[in-house]
Amino acid sequence: MSNPTKELALEVKDVSINYRILNNTSLQKSFLKKKIHNEVFEAVKHVSFQLEKGEILGIIGQNGSGKSTLLRSIAGVFSPNSGEIDLHNNSVSLMALGVGFKESLSGRENIILSGMLLGFQEKEIQDKLEEIIAFSELGEFIDRPVRTYSSGMHSKLAFSITAMLETDIMLVDEVLSVGDESFKRKSLARMKELINDKNRTVVIVSHSISTLEELCNKVLWLHAGGIKLLGEPKEVLGAYWRFMRGEKKN
């Protein structure tokens, strides 16, 4: 239960998210039948949780468990098919590879565009621009099209933008695990700085048990789109580790 004296920052209420999957054979036949057959895949199934302002939630689960889909829905990339997500008027940002960048624009131009999409004024972004560029360590690549970037460079740019243009709610999707070791250490240190702000709420998706154990005060384990366990990091991560060890033995 949430503390009545605390302020809620985020509520996810019975959220379900579906994808429609086109069958290739059916698609070919549809040119003759004028009808497309498809099936529905339930990526997220009836997920509910609350976060108070300042809480740090980790989300863990196997590939395909719905982690990134849920995070993108919270970020407003797309709407859930059912249920409700309430941000309580908080600003939100998403750190994730391949989200929000215009591939034909330079890194510098994408910083400005991303900042404006996050709701910042252009002057606010310009004031932080050199700090963002310096943190990203992209050097001359900052003025090259993002389509020429490696996945590690994408990660550095995504993290730097969100880490310097601070929002009320930060959503982090595996970005801490990409890039060279030096940047990983720097990113982790910066994330700890941001978390120390008791008014900032953070949701981190990661496969790293040690990262979630170190940073989070609550962990959600998603399995096949639904909640397997939600609670204290030690309890949830321990159960997940035992489950994964059992899976590998089978």
pTM to 2 decimal places: 0.82
What pLDDT was estimated at residue 22?
Answer: 62
Please check whether residue 67 is in contact with residue 61, taking contact to mean a CB–CB distance below 8 angstroms. Answer: yes
What pLDDT was estimated at residue 117?
Answer: 84
- Measured N-to-C along each axis, helices 107-117 and 122-136 cross at an angle, to the nearest 10 degrees, of 130
- What homologous superfamily does CATH list for 56-76+91-249? P-loop containing nucleotide triphosphate hydrolases (3.40.50.300)
Residue predicted with more confidence, 51 or 25: 51
Tell me the range of 20-29, 72-81, 82-91 where mean pLDDT is highest: 82-91
Average pLDDT taken over every residue of the chain: 88
Q: Where are the domains of the chain?
A: 56-76+91-249
Give tens-digit pLDDT for 92-126: 988 876 567 899 999 999 999 999 988 899 999 99
What pLDDT was estimated at residue 125?
Answer: 95
Region 14-27: mean pLDDT is 75
Residue among 164, 166, 122, 159 at smallest CA distance from 138: 159
Q: Percentage of residues in the chain with pLDDT exceeding 90?
A: 61
- Concatenating the DSSP letter of every residue in the chain gives ---TTSPEEEEEEEEEEEEEEE-HHHHHHHHHHS---EEEEEEEEEEEEEEETT-EEEEE--TTSSHHHHHHHHHTSS--SEEEEE-TT--EEEE-TTSS--TTSBHHHHHHHHHHHTT--HHHHHHHHHHHHHHHT-GGGGGSBGGG--HHHHHHHHHHHHHHS--SEEEEESGGGSS-HHHHHHHHHHHHHHHTSTT-EEEEE-S-HHHHHHH-SEEEEEETTEEEEEE-HHHHHHHHHHHHHHHHH-
179 pLDDT band, cuts 50/70/90, is low
Both tokens of 192, joined, read: 């700890």
What pLDDT was estimated at residue 6?
Answer: 77
What pLDDT was estimated at residue 31?
Answer: 53
